[in-house]
Structure 1
Amino acid sequence: MKKILLPTDFSNNSWNAIKYALNFFKEDVCHFYLIHTYTPVVYQVEYMEVGAAQFGLIDAMKEAAQTGLKKIQKQIDEEFINSKHTFTSIASFNTLTAEISHRINEDKIDYVVMGTKGATGAVEILFGSNTMHVIKNAKCPVLAIPSEFEFEKPVEVLFPSDYQIEFKEEHIQPIVDLATKYKSRVNVLNATFGYELSTFQKSNKKLLDDHFKGITSLFHDVSNQTVEDAISKFQLKHRINLLIMINNKHSFFENLFFRSTINHIGFHLNIPFLVIPSQIHKTS
């Protein structure tokens, strides 16, 4: 049984991500955890005396969270009838990123599926940055769904790699699983500025090719392009349904996604994005 974490802020975008997850894992036996976190906007325990008024506020937020989760569960029950899927709803007085980390460890979560944006304005920036914090720190794969993206089978998958990681089964198995299930073609993309692959990179490319023997895969090499440009140009030529990357520290992944300016957060993606951590917790 797969265990899938579905964070929600009750926005249309988070509901869209939930719908994507229910479709994506439609044929899998899954237990889904619907979670909503709440904290007072100015909650700072070291500076704030938690009196009756604060407890009243927290109780009201908890009640609103539980009501919202019941509403989502009702929507799921009405729109998605699937005997393979079961659900648990969790309203937690916590920050989103801390609660997700806790749930991954406590419940041995296999995937987190969440939206890349909130509603509008400041909320959009906050939830977008939350998504990137989750992607950066989660010890399980994170599937981020752009706002308003309707589910489509991931038949064409783009997997950029600089071959700077020694590929292990836990990195590649999620890709092989989805490619097998959806009969996907995995397009491996390497972008360089004219330099040759090192011996280490060549060895890792061979490892990747070996892992992909049982699925359809194509290896693409482009030169004199940044990774960002290479991904964008590839998407223009091919109808890619899913982007996959491995979050390998000290690699192009961090340079691409974790720049200092908020404008770069999220890479302005318009397709679902699966991020596989370089270190994954053991679910067994």
Structure 2
Amino acid sequence: MENRILLPTDFSKNSWNAIQYAIKLFEEKKCIFYILHTYSKETHGLDSLTLLDPDQAFNKMCKLRSEQGLGDILVQLSKLQHNDNHQFHVVSKPALLCNAVKELNKELRFKMIVMGAKGITNQKEETYGKQTLGLLKEIRQCPILVVPTKVDFNHPKEIVLTTNFNSKIKVSEIRYLVEIAKLSNASIQVLSLTQPHKLSFSQKRNKVLIRSQLKDVAHKFNSLRNVKMATALSCFVEIRKSNMISYIDRKPSFWERLGFVKISLSKLGYFANVPVLALHAK
């Protein structure tokens, strides 16, 4: 089966970094990369974003800018070292990003989505962008890799998988984590805040499942206590110089979907130079 990777872009430096990171990460794999740009018009009222009328002059201008921007990316890609394993397609859609991704994913069934941690309109230093958090909330059919601006383009040598073992991870998704570890010859450090002797039956079962899926790569289970996960993860990654973080993203609750409660990625804290891979729970 072809490895189809979706690369959303808003033509920012961050999204270009994400494209480069994906190319480097999968340099040894045959992949078809789909570079997606969407555009829509801001309005006022109950719905803050409305799709454009194809006949409007404004829409034609947005379409032209979108196609020109994608053309510029193809020119930039042509200047990179050629890789026979990789093909590139560009897609321009007059739609909301989440809707466009859902539509394309139904047709193409992406193996992974790789995107920037924040877009061109998000200037806040230590926060993930609105579009990034929106995709994490709405798209659950494949893993999503979030790449920050200051990312190191070398292959990761250590990946931290953070989990409390409460959620049953999709076997198909943890295989992607294992594949990345194998491609990079990286070890996986599983980090939790629950002491082994205090795990419930379901937690032990989920831990056994994770252990069985990690059997083909170097891995170790670590537990910390009396500290919040964001603090534990930040210290763990900084001390060990880990190159990637992964977490099990459970389905958003009713309140998370409404925006009253932070979604899982926000609870982990912001990482300015470490990519974060969201795997989905059942």
For the aligned pair, the TM-score class normalised by the smaller chain equals 0.7 to 0.9
Which of 202, 205, 214 is matched with 2:204 structurally? 202
Partner of 2:280: 277
Worse-superposed segment, 164-173 or 236-245:
164-173
- Indicate conservation of the 8 Å contact 1:110/1:140, yes or no: yes
**Per-residue CA shift, 1:28-76, capped at 9, x if unaligned?**
111111111011222889999x999961110111011001100101100
Partner of 1:211: 213
Q: Counterparts of 1:151-166 in structure 2 under 5 Å?
A: 151-166=153-168
Taking the aligned partners of 1:171 and 1:198, their CA distance within structure 2 comes to 23
Partner of 2:186: 184
Q: CA distance change for structure 1 residues 56 and 243 in 2, over 3 Å: closer, same or farther?
A: same
Partner of 2:223: 221
Partner of 2:79: 78
Which AA in structure 2 matches 1:210? S
- Indicate conservation of the 8 Å contact 1:7/1:36, yes or no: yes
Q: CA distance change for structure 1 residues 59 and 118 in 2, over 3 Å: closer, same or farther?
A: same
Q: CA distance change for structure 1 residues 221 and 47 in 2, over 3 Å: closer, same or farther?
A: closer
Q: Counterparts of 1:1-284 in structure 2 under 5 Å?
A: 1-42=2-43, 55-119=56-120, 121=122, 128-138=129-139, 139-192=141-194, 196-249=198-251, 259-260=261-262, 264=266, 267-270=269-272, 271-279=274-282
Q: CA distance change for structure 1 residues 167 and 68 in 2, over 3 Å: closer, same or farther?
A: closer
Taking the aligned partners of 1:81 and 1:51, their CA distance within structure 2 comes to 37
Which AA in structure 1 matches 2:175? Q
Q: Percent identity?
A: 29
SS of residue matched to 1:187? strand
Taking the aligned partners of 2:48 and 2:252, their CA distance within structure 1 comes to 37
Q: CA distance change for structure 1 residues 43 and 94 in 2, over 3 Å: closer, same or farther?
A: farther
Deviation at 1:122, TM superposition (A): 5.7
SS of residue matched to 2:42? coil
Taking the aligned partners of 1:243 and 1:258, their CA distance within structure 2 comes to 25
Taking the aligned partners of 2:126 and 2:192, their CA distance within structure 1 comes to 30
Deviation at 1:269, TM superposition (A): 1.5
**Per-residue CA shift, 1:124-157, capped at 9, x if unaligned?**
8997011011112211110100013131211100
Q: CA distance change for structure 1 residues 125 and 63 in 2, over 3 Å: closer, same or farther?
A: farther
Q: CA distance change for structure 1 residues 104 and 43 in 2, over 3 Å: closer, same or farther?
A: farther
Q: What TM-score do the two structures reach when normalised by structure 2?
A: 0.86
Taking the aligned partners of 1:195 and 1:242, their CA distance within structure 2 comes to 28
Q: CA distance change for structure 1 residues 43 and 224 in 2, over 3 Å: closer, same or farther?
A: same
Worse-superposed segment, 8-17 or 201-210:
201-210
- Indicate conservation of the 8 Å contact 2:181/2:188, yes or no: yes
- Indicate conservation of the 8 Å contact 1:192/1:226, yes or no: no
Which AA in structure 2 matches 1:177? E
Q: What TM-score do the two structures reach when normalised by structure 1?
A: 0.85
- Indicate conservation of the 8 Å contact 2:143/2:173, yes or no: no
Q: CA distance change for structure 1 residues 42 and 250 in 2, over 3 Å: closer, same or farther?
A: closer
- Indicate conservation of the 8 Å contact 1:117/1:125, yes or no: no
Q: Give the root-mean-square deviation of aligned CA atoms.
A: 3.2
Deviation at 1:192, TM superposition (A): 3.4
Deviation at 1:93, TM superposition (A): 0.3
- Indicate conservation of the 8 Å contact 1:104/1:140, yes or no: no
Deviation at 1:6, TM superposition (A): 0.7
Consecutive unaligned residues of structure 2, counting only runs of 5 or more, are: none
Consecutive unaligned residues of structure 1, counting only runs of 5 or more, are: 280-284
Aligned length, in residue pairs: 273
